[in-house]
């Protein structure tokens, strides 16, 4: 149990630092920003209560906000994402009891379900985040472009990271 907590704490710190130091400065074609820190929310165990998931996600978002000067945007989007996590997961994987390990991964969910879950989560997050960021639809074409490209970029990065870690097991 302690090992799990430590693992998540480490993941939290590594993701925040990586997002703030590296990924925030990656802006592909001036539209696509990888928002990889939500990997933490995606990886939270399904047995964790919604309250805790929300709290952790809120803190995660707040941390990224503080470091990247986006007041409350990521905190709000992360909270919403944490609430939507289990409903989205049940969409593709209705039998939570079948999971050997409560942590969603390529292994526990199977590649198809996990990929769909991941893509939906990332797309959902990017949509909320860029909606909050732009707020007015003065240039909604650009906003859609940003959502789609950022979703793809984040999805690819997280999936490749997952494949790498899955192979090493």
Partner 1 sequence: MRNLLNFLLRYSSWFLFAFYVVVSCGLLFNRNPYQHHVYMTSAGAIAGGLHDISSNITGYFSLRDINDDLQRQTAELQAEVLTLREQVRRYREDELQDSLRQVDSIGRFDFIIATVINNSISRPYNYVTINKGRLDGIRPEMGVMDQNGVVGVVNVVSDHYARIISLLNPNFRLSCKLRGSDTFGSLVWDGNDPTSAILEELPKHTIFHEGDTIVTSGFSAVFPEGLPVGIISGTARGADDNFFTLKIKLLTDLTALSTVKIISNTDLDEIRSVENDATSKSDN
Site for partner 1, rule CB under 8 A: 17, 20-21, 50-51, 54-55, 58, 61-62, 65-69, 71-73, 75-76, 79-80, 83, 132
**Shortest distance, position 35 Cβ to partner 1, whole Å:** 16
**Which residue from 73, 79, 72 is spatially nearest to 50, judged by alpha carbons?**
79
Residue whose CB is less far from partner 1, 135 or 165: 135
Q: In the beta sheet, which residues pair with residue 28?
A: 32
Is the CB of 11 or the CB of 20 nearer to partner 1? Answer: 20
Return the number of the residue (49 or 100) whose C-beta is nearest partner 1: 49
CA–CA separation, 154 and 129 (whole Å): 13
Residue 69 to residue 79: CA distance in whole angstroms = 18
Q: Shortest Cβ distance from residue 70 to partner 1 (Å)?
A: 9
* Nearer Cβ to partner 1 (76/113): 76
Q: Give Cα 138 distance to the centre of its chain.
A: 27
**Least separation in angstroms between CB 79 and partner 1:** 4
Separation of first and last alpha carbons in the chain: 20
């Amino acid at each position: 149990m302690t090992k799990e907590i430590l693992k998540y704490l480490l993941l939290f710190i590594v993701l925040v630092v990586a997002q703030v130091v590296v990924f925030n400065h990656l802006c592909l074609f001036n539209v696509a920003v990888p928002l990889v820190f939500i990997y933490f929310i995606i990886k939270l165990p399904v047995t964790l209560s919604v309250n805790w998931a929300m709290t952790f996600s809120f803190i995660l978002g707040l941390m990224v906000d503080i470091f990247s000067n986006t007041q409350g945007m990521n905190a709000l989007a992360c909270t919403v994402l944490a609430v939507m996590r289990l409903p989205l997961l049940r969409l593709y994987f209705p039998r939570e009891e079948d999971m050997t390990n409560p942590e969603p991964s390529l292994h526990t969910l199977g590649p198809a379900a996990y990929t769909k879950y991941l893509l939906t989560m990332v797309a959902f997050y990017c949509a909320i985040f860029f909606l909050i960021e732009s707020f007015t639809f003065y240039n909604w074409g650009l906003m859609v472009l940003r959502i789609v490209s950022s979703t793809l970029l984040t999805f690819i990065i997280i999936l490749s990271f997952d494949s790498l870690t899955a192979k090493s097991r």
